[in-house]
A = this chain, B = another copy of it.
Amino acid sequence: MRALRALRPRRLLAMAAAAAAAGAGSAARRGPVLTPESMNPAIRRVEYAVRGPIVIRAMEIEQELRKGVPKPFTEVIKANIGDAHAMGQQPITFLRQVTALCVCPELMKDESVPSDAKERAQRLLDACGGRSVGSYSASPGVQMVRESVARYIERRDGGIPAKADDIFLSTGASDAIVNMLKLLVCGSGASRTGVLIPIPQYPLYSAALAELEAAQVNYYLAEERCWALDVAELRRALSEGRRRCNPRALCIINPGNPTGQVQSRECMEQVIKFAYEEKLFLLADEVYQDNIYAQGSAFHSFKKVLMELGPPYSESVELASFHSTSKGFMGECGLRGGYMEVVNLHPEVKAELTKLVSVRLCPPVPGQMILDAIVDPPKPGEPSYERFQAEKEAVLSALAEKARLTEEIFNRTPGIHCNPVQGAMYSFPRIDLPPRAVAAAKEKKQSPDMFFCMRLLEETGICVVPGSGFGQKEGTYHFRMTILPPTEKLKILLENLSSFYTKFVQEFS
C-alpha cells in the first residue's frame, strides 16, 4: 500500500493530463500503446525480402488485374518463392492419400486408395494419442515418425547410425533453425553471440539474427567459382567478427539458396575442420538435399562427412542439420513439416531444447504424417510403388531440365551472368546495370536491383526478388528467380525477362 501511495501523484498527474486531453477531442485523449516508435526495435529491423515490398506490390497488381485495370500483361508470375504447387506442380499421390486417411479415417473404406497407403495411415494413427491427428503429439514429434526419419538418414548416409532421440520434428525447417539459434544466443556488446552466414543467404537467417539481436557475420561465396565456399574467406570473416562479437556458430546452406551450388566433399571436410579448430557450432541447412541436377554434383550430408572424418571431429563438432517437407520432389510447403537432427549436442542442452519445443506443444501433426510417408516411401512390389516413383521422377527430371534451360537462356543475353543451377530451385544471375540506371534508382531511394525488379514487375508481371534481399558483394546486382514454373511457361518467362533486361539497359545507356 505504501507503493500505491507513493505512486499516487504520478497517477493523478496522468489522469489530469488525460482529462485535459479529453477536451481536445476523443481521438487525442489517449494515444496508442504500440506505435512504430514504441514497438520492439529489433522486430522493426527484421527484413524478409522473399515476401517483402516487391511481393506486396505483386499482390496489388494481381488485384488491379482482377478489377480490369489495363496492363501490358495478363497475369503476375510469382517466381519469388520456392512454392512448387503454386506453380502448378502436382502433389505426389501416395503422400496425400496417407495424410488424408490419417485426417479422416472413415475414408479407409474408399476402394480407390491402395492398401499400402491404408496400412501406413493405420500405423501412423496407432502412434497418435487416442488414434487421432487431433491429439497433441510428443513435443519433439510422434515417436514412430522420428524412428522413420532416423532410418531414412541411415540409408542416405550409407549406414552411419542415426538415433530417433536426436531427431526433433518441426514446423517447416524455419522453426527448428530459429530454435537452435535461440539456444546459441547470449552475451552482450562484444561478447554477444555472432553467427557466420553465407552471402548471399536465405533471409530467414538475417531476419532471425535481427530478431534475436545476435551479430550477423558475413562470409562471401565466390561467384566467379560457381558460388563455392572458400575456407580462407571463412577465416577472414571470423577475424572480422571477433573484433565486434563472439562468433559461436557457422551456418552452411547446401545445396545453396539462393545460389544453387552444390558443395564438394573436400570443401565440407575443410569446413568441419575449421569449425573444430575455431570452436564453432555447425548449422547445416540441407533442405534441398533431393534437388541435385548437375552432372558430377552429388549431395553429401554434413553428418556423413563429419562421421567419416573420424575422431576428434566426429566426437566433438556439434551439428544441427535441417530438412523440410517443403522442397525436394514433394514441395509440400503448406503442410509445414520438417525435422532437425542434432549431433554431439550436450545432453543437458538437448533437454533444454526439448523443454523449449514443449512450450509450443508440438509441430502440426498432418505435417508429421506426410513427413513419414516422404522418408519411408513405398518399396518395390508394394501397390503404390510404380506410381510414386513415376511421379517423383517426373518432378525431378523436369526440374533438372528447367535448371539447364535457365542457365542457357540467361547466358545468351549480354550483361546477364548466370552460374549453373547445380541444385536447389533458384537461379541467382548477376546483371550489369548502367550507371544511369544506378543513378535513377538512387533518386528513387531504391537499391539499383530493387529498381530493376520493380520495373520488371510493372512492365512484364514477372515477380523476382532483388539480390539485395539476400546480400551481394558491394556494387554487384542480382535477382533470385525460382525455376519452378512449368517448362513452357518458364521458357517464355526467361525470354521475356531477358528482353526486358536488354530494353532496360538500352533505356539507361
Contacts and interface: CB of A to CB of B under 8 A. Distances in A.
Interface of A: 1, 3-4, 6-7, 14-15, 18, 22, 26-27, 29-36, 38-41, 43-44, 46-48, 50-52, 59, 81, 83-89, 91, 93, 96-97, 99-101, 103-104, 106-107, 109-110, 112-113, 128-130, 132-139, 171-172, 174-175, 182-186, 204, 207-208, 211, 235-236, 239-240, 242-243, 248-249, 276-277, 279-281, 311-312, 315-316, 318, 330-336, 344-346, 348-349, 352, 355-356, 358-367
B208 A85 contact: no
Given A7-B242, A171-B360, 5 more contacts: A32-B346, A34-B248, A36-B348, A39-B349, A85-B130
26 contacts: A3-B243, A7-B242, A22-B312, A27-B315, A27-B316, A30-B276, A34-B281, A35-B348, A36-B346, A50-B358, A51-B358, A81-B136, A97-B104, A99-B103, A100-B104, A103-B103, A107-B110, A110-B112, A132-B334, A171-B364, A204-B359, A208-B359, A333-B361, A335-B366, A336-B365, A364-B366
A30 B312 contact: yes
A364 B364 CA distance: 7
A100 B110 CA distance: 13
A38 B60 CA distance: 47
B36 A349 contact: yes
B106 A112 contact: yes
Most B CB atoms within 10 A — which of A48, A243, A335, A336? A336
A122 to B, nearest CB: 15
A276 B356 CA distance: 34
A136 B368 CA distance: 17
Contact of A104 (B29, B99, B132): B99
Given A134-B85, A183-B43, A281 B33 contact: yes
Copies in the complex: 2
Contacts of A84: 134
A315 B135 CA distance: 40
A133 B186 CA distance: 38
Contacts of A43: 182-183, 352, 356
Nearest to A51: B358
Contact of A184 (B34, B103, B236): B34
Contacts of A355: 46-48, 52
B4 A39 contact: no
A129 B83 contact: yes
Nearest to A178: B360
B91 A100 contact: no
B91 A333 contact: no
B352 A3 contact: no
A136 B318 CA distance: 32
B40 A85 contact: no
A51 B15 contact: no
A6 B47 CA distance: 34
A293 to B, nearest CB: 21
B103 A34 contact: no
Nearest to A81: B136
Given A43-B182, A346-B35, A332 B112 contact: no
Nearest to A7: B239
Given A29-B312, A100-B107, A334 B279 contact: no
Contacts of A335: 133-134, 364-366
